[in-house]
Amino acid sequence: MTDPDGATADGALPGGALPDGMLPDGSPVDGSPVDGSPVDGSPVDGSPVDGSTVDDATRAHGFSRRAMLGAAAAGAAAAGAAGAGGFKVGRATAPILGDMAFGFHGDHQSGIVTEQQDRLHFATFDLTTDSRDRVIALLRRWTQAAATLMTGSEIGAGAVGGSPLLPPDDTGEALGLPAAGLTITFGFGRGMFTKDGKDRFGLAGLMPEQIQDLPHFSGDAIDPAFEGGDLCIQACSHDPLVAIHAIRNLARLAAGDASVRWAQLGFGRTSSTTRAQSTSRNLMGFKDGTRNLRAEDTTLVTKWLWAGPTDGQEWMTGGTYMVVRKIRIHAEVWDRTSLGEQEAAVGRSKGSGAPLSGGNETTQPNFQARGASGSLMIPTDAHVTIAHPNRWDGAMMLRRGYNYTDGADTLGKLDAGLFFIAFVRDPRAQYVPIQEEMSRSDRMTTEYLKTVGSALFAVPPGIPHGATLGDGGAFVGQSLFA
């Protein structure tokens, strides 16, 4: 929404055109994987797909709380036998649920190039401890819990399996639900490295320059209630309850060490992260994320998404950076704006998503095209004009945003908009200059949007395949504490 076209691979630079349908790296945009690797290879044994950028998000075995229910209902069923009645037992019928669970281990964290799910629960945390050891212990707990939750299991002794004298380890609202494609992604904010001038954990020298504070963009109205955080967790799932359950239980595991600073629920993805996904619409009613960076664009993903060993902080190799912006839509104003003005502000047709210069959704915009009256068909201050990647040396981002609504404000207006999430290799090059220009010149942004929340995180690499979790085991961000 803030940029249906922004940071994409639209091609056609006014001064150096690429053929339509060709990405700057020469790869096709027709949806075929660049290197022919499977996008959704579903190995039944849960082993990873090697060599592909999507391996972290490879669909693994689908075992679920629901499958467990089947197993329980089967009562005395012998191992390996299918459950009698209800759902099939997960182990014997993995393909049925096979596309519902993603593997936790991988070179990169899940929830980035993973095919975007429908629901979001995002939370940022303040670290309330000054102890480096406690932060490490927290990350270990979170890592093991995340890996467990992603299989569709309850954590610890479960929701009803523990001692009656103890509060249950798991809060239980996801009992009976499958993993529902849950991914859990952890990020580190500036407060992990230095806060109020203090280097609490001996990490100040390891702070990536990529997460220097975002500048104030024209028109920003950041509410401190939606700003920053020492840590963040993004939980995405096809089931809102599964995502909420994940954040709720992870927050509980943090008690005493980290406390929720702010959080956001999101619904209805506003991006597509694989070619198999259709383009969705945002709350402005326009197709959004038409030219997003996608999992199959392995060359581009390597170039624009994953931090490399020479990017400044070697521990971030295989990681990425996460820009989070809560962008409210002036919905009532937008809704009473004429169709012509809406399309002029965006630069695209509301119905088809095609640029106003003609064609279909995937056609390159022609910024020189003029209509019968002699005026430019795509206005110079249209969103597509300002945000077009060719204006920005082809810079791309992987957007993974969601719609949000917090109900109505005190004036009775719809309190809703876009919860913008983008993953980039360097926000200084791939986000800040584009947003600066948009906040000044983009009619859609300046007239109809207001950014009320903002945060920036370093997303460390994933946990290698085969790594043991738990006490003394691997944890997210381990390379930072090495």
Q: Two tokens at 400?
A: 């993974």
Exactly one of 160, 276, 369, 408 binds another protein (CB under 8 A); that residue is 160
Radius of gyration of the chain (CA): 23
What is the spatial distance between Cα 272 and Cα 288, in angstroms, rounded to a whole number? 9
| 165 secondary structure, DSSP code | T
Total site size for another protein, rule CB under 8 A: 78
- Least distance from C-beta 252 to another protein, angstroms? 7
Contact status: 61 vs another protein (CB under 8 A): yes
Let me know: does 421 contact 402? Beta carbons within 8 Å.
Answer: yes
- Least distance from C-beta 143 to another protein, angstroms? 9
Contact status: 425 vs another protein (CB under 8 A): no
Using CB under 8 A as the binding rule, the residues of this chain from 62 to 121 that contact another protein are 63, 65-66, 68-69, 71-73, 75-81, 90-92, 94, 104-105
Nearer to another protein by Cβ, of 105 and 399: the residue is 105
Q: Two tokens at 434?
A: 């584009």
- Least distance from C-beta 16 to another protein, angstroms? 46
Beta pairing, strands 449-459 & 287-288: unpaired
Q: Two tokens at 110?
A: 């899940």
Let me know: does 42 contact 367? Beta carbons within 8 Å.
Answer: no
Span of 58-66, 292-300, 353-361, 453-461 interacting with another protein by CB under 8 A: 58-66
Using CB under 8 A as the binding rule, the residues of this chain from 431 to 460 that contact another protein are none
Run of H or E including 138? helix 132-150
- Least distance from C-beta 244 to another protein, angstroms? 18
- Least distance from C-beta 257 to another protein, angstroms? 8
Exactly one of 3, 55, 169, 343 binds another protein (CB under 8 A); that residue is 169
Using CB under 8 A as the binding rule, the residues of this chain from 213 to 232 that contact another protein are none
- Least distance from C-beta 459 to another protein, angstroms? 20
SS3 (DSSP) at 249: helix
Exactly one of 14, 84, 95, 128 binds another protein (CB under 8 A); that residue is 128
Using CB under 8 A as the binding rule, the residues of this chain from 233 to 262 that contact another protein are 252-257, 259
- Least distance from C-beta 315 to another protein, angstroms? 20
| Cβ-Cβ contacts under 8 Å for 422 (sequence gap 6 or more) | 7, 322, 323, 397, 398, 399, 400, 401, 431
Exactly one of 37, 40, 96, 162 binds another protein (CB under 8 A); that residue is 162
Residue of 246, 298, 292, 260 whose CA lies nearest to 273: 292
Q: Give the C-alpha distances (Å, rounded to integers) separating 266 from 104, 115, 366, 406.
A: 22, 16, 34, 10
Span of 55-63, 186-194, 268-276, 290-298 interacting with another protein by CB under 8 A: 55-63
Q: Two tokens at 449?
A: 């949007």
Span of 164-172, 226-234, 282-290, 453-461 interacting with another protein by CB under 8 A: 164-172
- Least distance from C-beta 168 to another protein, angstroms? 9
Question: Residue 366: how many CA atoms within 13 Å on its side-chain side?
Answer: 13
Using CB under 8 A as the binding rule, the residues of this chain from 137 to 156 that contact another protein are 137, 140-141, 144-145, 147-148, 150-156
Let me know: does 250 contact 184? Beta carbons within 8 Å.
Answer: yes
Exactly one of 175, 204, 354, 416 binds another protein (CB under 8 A); that residue is 175
240-253 vs 132-150: helix axis angle to the nearest 10?
A: 150
